[in-house]
Every structure is written in C-alpha cells, then in structure tokens.
Amino acid sequence: MTDHAPPSAADDPREVAAFSDVVREHRAVLVRLARQICPNQDYELAVDDGLLLLYRNWRAITGDRVAWVTVVVKNRAIDLRRRSREQADELTEHDVPIWSAQVSAELRLEFRTALERLPRLTRQEQVALVLTLFGHTTADIAARIGVSQASVRSYRSQAQRRMRHWLDRQHPRRPHRTDAGEEV
C-alpha cells in the first residue's frame, strides 16, 4: 500500500484494474448524466469527484460500485446546480439600483417613464420590481412578502416584460448591430 492512499482505496493491482475498467466503461454515461442535471456548470467536476471518491472508498463499498458512483455523481451535479442558482440569486443585473453609476442616463429616463406606468402593474409585480430597484435581494423580497423566491422572480420578470412592452411602444428603439454584424 502506498503512503498517500487511504486504507480503503484501490491499491492492489487487481483493484486498480477493476477501477480502471469502471472508469473506461462508465465515464461517458456519468458525464451525460451530470450534463443533463447541470448543463451550464462544470459537470465534469461532478464526475471527477465521484470517481475520486469511488477510488478512495473502493474496499469499503461492498455493493454495486457502478450504482454507488452513479448516485454520487448525481448528487454532486445537483449540488453544483444548486450552488449556481444560489449565487445567481445573490446578485443579478436586476438587483443593481437604478441610481448606480453603472446605469446610463437613458436608462434613468426609461425608469422615470416606467414609474408613470407602475400603477398599471399588479400589486405583486409592483412590490417585486420596486424592492429590487431599491437593492433588495430576491430572498429578502420573498421573505418580506411571504412567497417563494421563484414567485418573486416570476413577478419581477412579468413586470419587466410588461414595462419593456410599454417602453418599446412609447420609445421604439432603432436596430443596432452586434459585434458579429447581426442586426438586433
């Protein structure tokens, strides 16, 4: 046994060969599973973590090792997806206050126009939009009004969509070209 390998790790040549067979035969399936769960994250990290844990616990796993590593990879991918959502909830582009230096004069003008339209929104849309504009996080707004964070995101999205529709009708935007030369 090597000095750096945990006592239950695969360190016998037959165990290492068996571990290598599992990796060769099942890695692609594990990658597809992780990619389905968290397509926008580093899904291969979930697979690598699962395979490393399989190696470290090789002798301790008495049942089906492929099923064991599949569950570990699935759980790691879910954790990556969850962490990504939590980080996204912490601060989004919609959480930047309108008076911030990052906001242009044109956007401030649109904001004033939007304020005139605010009474046309539902009560939930008004609260979600206004509290967001004052720098509150999605989690804080959800706790204040007693709904889920998903509901707050939905109210905010609906309000923004309606506001954008009204603003585009009042101030049609001229098409412009992206860096790729496409007209938007």
Tens of pLDDT, residues 66-112? 999 999 999 999 988 888 776 655 545 455 554 444 455 666 566 66
Note the pLDDT of residue 42: 79
What is the CATH T-level fold of the domain 93-170, as seen in this structure? Arc Repressor Mutant, subunit A (1.10.10)
Which residue in 148, 152, 149, 104 sits closest to 129, CA to CA? Answer: 152
CATH 1.10.10.10 in the chain: give the residue spans: 93-170
Rounded average pLDDT over 17-23: 86
Burial of 6 (0-12, 13-18, 19+ CB in 10 A): middle
Given a contact cutoff of 8 angstroms between Cβ atoms, the answer to whether 94 and 160 are in contact is yes
Rounded average pLDDT over 3-29: 76
Predicted model pTM: 0.46
Contacts of 15 (CB under 8 A, 6+ apart): 58, 59
Note the pLDDT of residue 131: 78
Q: What CATH number should be reported for the domain whose range is 13-90?
A: 1.10.1740
Q: Residue 115 — very low, low, confident or very high, per pLDDT cuts 50/70/90?
A: low
The tokens describing 49, both together, are: 């973590």
Note the pLDDT of residue 85: 73
Neighbours of 150 (CB within 10 A): 10
CATH 1.10.1740 in the chain: give the residue spans: 13-90
pLDDT digits (tens, 9 = 90+) for 125-183: 888 877 787 678 888 888 888 899 999 999 988 888 887 777 677 655 555 455 566 65
Whether pLDDT at 119 is above 50: yes
Q: Which residue has the higher pLDDT, 119 or 142?
A: 142
